[in-house]
Amino acid sequence: MKESQIYSAIYDIVEENMEKSGKKLHTTKELTLCAVSAKPGTVDIMKLSRERNNDTFVKKAYIFMLNRQIDKQALKIWRTHYDLPTEEFQRAVIIGIRGSEEFYTNQVKMYNNIYSEHNAFGGNVAGIAPPAGITVPERMMKLYRKMPSFMKSAAKTIMGVKKS
């Protein structure tokens, strides 16, 4: 029996038990299987973008990029953008999550990011470099965020993130 079949069977059992107790699971079988199949610490954006349903896409993006399910407040906010074309919505979600402190703290590495700002004008997806392997403690990041722009620029140059 495949691992996905085992998790699927477990989901069915839990769902049945929840229904018997008058409760309902807060996730679908598809999202549960997505979560258990996620390789911790990495996300392939090109693969993720194959999801064409905006609701399912944002839920999967949270699982892969933040290692958790989307909270009710965030889902409510994203739902106001469901009328956007799929690619535009997906770009907004990826850029929004990637810019969050939670994403930075989780240190998830993105691959094949077809929505990268560096790739917005037809760049070669295969040529996108993986994120730098530099990790900075959160206390240092708080200090960095308060620095004037010339000091931020110098810090990036010293860390090798920005070419001088």
Average pLDDT, the chain: 81
pLDDT tens digits, 36-86: 777 778 888 888 898 899 999 999 999 889 988 899 999 999 999 999 999
In this predicted structure, what is the pLDDT of residue 59? Answer: 92
Residues 27 and 50 placed together within one structural domain of the fold: no
Strand partners, 42: 109
Is residue 45 a contact partner of residue 112, using CB atoms and an 8 Å limit?
yes
Residues 27 and 11 placed together within one structural domain of the fold: yes
Q: What's the whole-model pTM score?
A: 0.62
Average pLDDT over residues 136-160: 77
In this predicted structure, what is the pLDDT of residue 104? Answer: 86
Residues 47 and 121 placed together within one structural domain of the fold: yes
Confidence of residue 135 (pLDDT cuts 50, 70, 90): low
5, 7, 49, 66, 107 from 100: Cα distances, Å: 34, 30, 19, 10, 11
In this predicted structure, what is the pLDDT of residue 161? Answer: 64
In this predicted structure, what is the pLDDT of residue 113? Answer: 85
How many separate domains does the chain show? 3
Average pLDDT over residues 97-111: 88
Rounded to 5 degrees, what angle do the CA atoms 103, 30, 40 make? 35
Indicate left, alpha or beta for 116 from its phi (over 0: left) and psi (-120 to 50: alpha). Answer: beta
Residues 47 and 105 placed together within one structural domain of the fold: yes
Tell me the CB-side half-sphere exposure of residue 6, using CA atoms within 13 A: 5
Residues 19 and 96 placed together within one structural domain of the fold: no
Residues 118 and 146 placed together within one structural domain of the fold: no
Residues 59 and 16 placed together within one structural domain of the fold: no
Average pLDDT over residues 116-121: 58
Residues 91 and 69 placed together within one structural domain of the fold: yes
Map residue 43 onto helix, strand or coil.
strand
Residue that has been written with the tokens 């070669």 in this structure: 124
In this predicted structure, what is the pLDDT of residue 93? Answer: 94
Q: Which domain holds residue 13?
A: 1-37
